[in-house]
């Protein structure tokens, strides 16, 4: 089968197309013929090697963390799927590789594709939808009437998180550029702050939850808009000790993660709030919980551009250079 490989960590020059053997299918695996896959910033971080400490992949590696496609084979212990089923998934972090024609996915990580979506639309959702669910539902336990700030509200994660937070009954603020303000409002945001001309810390106050996808100074400033007892959840900030324990990291790595996040955690403690780092997990069950919201139009995908599979390299470049105007970039195999 054809796949896009990373031969060595570094920039885009370490990536190329290759013909490789078809995947082996285990007893609990479902072999999916991939119709579409989306591009995530995570793909560039893996390619560059910046996540080697927590994701120690063996090279060469097939990139790609989202898929939508059709089941072509099932393992002997598979009970949930049959040949011909249309499915979508974010494969487990140890079994990525959706920039390929085929992928063997554990049945627990897979879900039936939302009936109302095309393959390209469905492929845009799993990673960002699961991240939004795990942040807002699992970790923050957002309740009706609470105030939630979503950074980069027009981005891949932000565009889904805004819709989910609104569905959970929250008052939703989001940061975005003026050009994207109408889109973000149409997704459900009650307030949109132009990050280029406005300081969100001067406008917002008393928030229960912040979902941060930018890290750095943006995360530090976000802590100041939270009410006492509030929580800032970041997918871009420094890993914290809870994540190190969850990862099963060795003592050296645990110490390193504790040190990396110590400044942020100290600042949060002084303000009477909590900082939490989130690295999302694959979950077919959670995708099943999201699917009714998708099929009823309460959460809708936002797709910026679709590239053909042969142009996967350019699709990644497009995302890496910040050319996407809103939502996700998708690679179509068909």
Label each residue of 144-200 as H, E or C.
Answer: CCCEEEECCCCCHHHHHHHHHHHHCCCEEEEEECHHHHHHHHHHCCCEEEECCCCCH
Reported confidence tier of residue 188, pLDDT bands at 50, 70, 90: very high
Neighbours of 318 (CB within 10 A): 17
The pLDDT score that the predictor gives to residue 236 is 94
The pLDDT score that the predictor gives to residue 326 is 94
DSSP-based helix, strand, coil % in the chain, nearest 5? 35, 25, 35
Strand partners, 89: 67, 110
Q: What is the pTM of this model?
A: 0.97
Rank 1-10, 48-57, 106-115 by mean pLDDT and report only the highest: 106-115
State pLDDT tens for residues 264-279: 999 999 999 999 999 9
State pLDDT tens for residues 278-301: 999 999 999 999 999 999 999 999
Reported confidence tier of residue 256, pLDDT bands at 50, 70, 90: confident
- Positions of CATH 3.40.50.720 in the chain: 127-277
The pLDDT score that the predictor gives to residue 43 is 95
Handedness of CA 232, 237, 239, 241 (dihedral sign): negative
Residue scoring higher pLDDT (78 or 334): 78
State pLDDT tens for residues 141-186: 999 999 999 999 999 999 999 999 999 999 999 999 999 999 999 9
Alpha-carbon distance of 227 to 240, in angstroms, equals: 21
- Positions of CATH 3.90.180.10 in the chain: 2-125+302-332
State pLDDT tens for residues 25-59: 999 999 999 999 999 999 999 999 989 888 889 99
DSSP state of 52: T
The pLDDT score that the predictor gives to residue 132 is 98
What's the whole-number mean pLDDT along residues 80-109?
98
**127-277 carries CATH number 1.20.120.550:** no
Alpha-carbon distance of 157 to 328, in angstroms, equals: 9
The pLDDT score that the predictor gives to residue 248 is 86
The H or E element spanning position 1 is none
Alpha-carbon distance of 253 to 59, in angstroms, equals: 21
State pLDDT tens for residues 195-215: 999 999 999 999 999 999 999
What number does CATH give the domain 2-125+302-332?
A: 3.90.180.10
State pLDDT tens for residues 57-93: 999 999 999 999 999 999 999 999 999 999 999 999 9
Residue 247: pLDDT over 90: no
């Amino acid at each position: 089968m054809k796949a896009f490989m990373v031969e060595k960590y570094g920039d885009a020059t370490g990536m190329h197309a290759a013909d490789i053997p078809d995947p082996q299918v285990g007893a609990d695996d479902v072999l999916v013929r991939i119709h579409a896959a989306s591009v995530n910033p995570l793909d560039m971080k893996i390619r560059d090697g910046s996540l080697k400490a927590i994701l120690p992949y063996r090279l060469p590696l097939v990139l790609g963390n989202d898929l939508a496609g059709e089941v072509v084979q099932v393992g002997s212990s598979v009970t949930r799927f049959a040949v011909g089923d249309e499915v979508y998934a974010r494969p487990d972090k140890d079994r990525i590789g959706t920039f390929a024609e085929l992928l063997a996915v554990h049945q627990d990580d897979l879900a039936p594709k939302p009936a109302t979506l095309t393959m390209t639309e469905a492929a845009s959702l799993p990673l960002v939808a699961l991240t939004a669910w795990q942040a807002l539902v699992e970790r923050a336990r957002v309740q009706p009437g609470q105030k939630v700030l979503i950074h980069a509200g027009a981005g891949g994660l932000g565009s889904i998180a805004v819709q989910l937070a609104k569905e959970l009954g929250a008052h939703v603020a989001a940061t975005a550029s003026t050009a994207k303000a109408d889109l973000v409002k149409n997704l459900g945001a009650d307030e949109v702050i132009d990050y280029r001309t406005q300081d969100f810390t001067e406008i917002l106050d008393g928030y229960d939850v912040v979902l941060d996808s930018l890290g750095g100074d943006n995360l530090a400033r976000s802590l100041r808009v939270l009410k006492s007892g509030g929580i800032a959840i970041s997918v871009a900030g420094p890993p914290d000790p809870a994540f190190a324990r969850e990862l099963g990291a060795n003592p050296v790595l645990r110490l390193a993660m504790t040190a990396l996040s110590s400044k942020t955690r100290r600042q949060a403690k002084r303000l009477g709030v909590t900082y939490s780092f989130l690295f999302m997990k694959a979950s077919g069950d959670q995708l099943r919980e999201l699917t009714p919201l998708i099929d009823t139009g309460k959460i809708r995908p936002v797709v910026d551009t679709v590239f053909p599979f042969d142009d996967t390299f350019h699709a990644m470049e497009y995302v890496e250079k910040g050319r996407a105007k809103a939502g996700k970039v998708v690679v179509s195999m068909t």
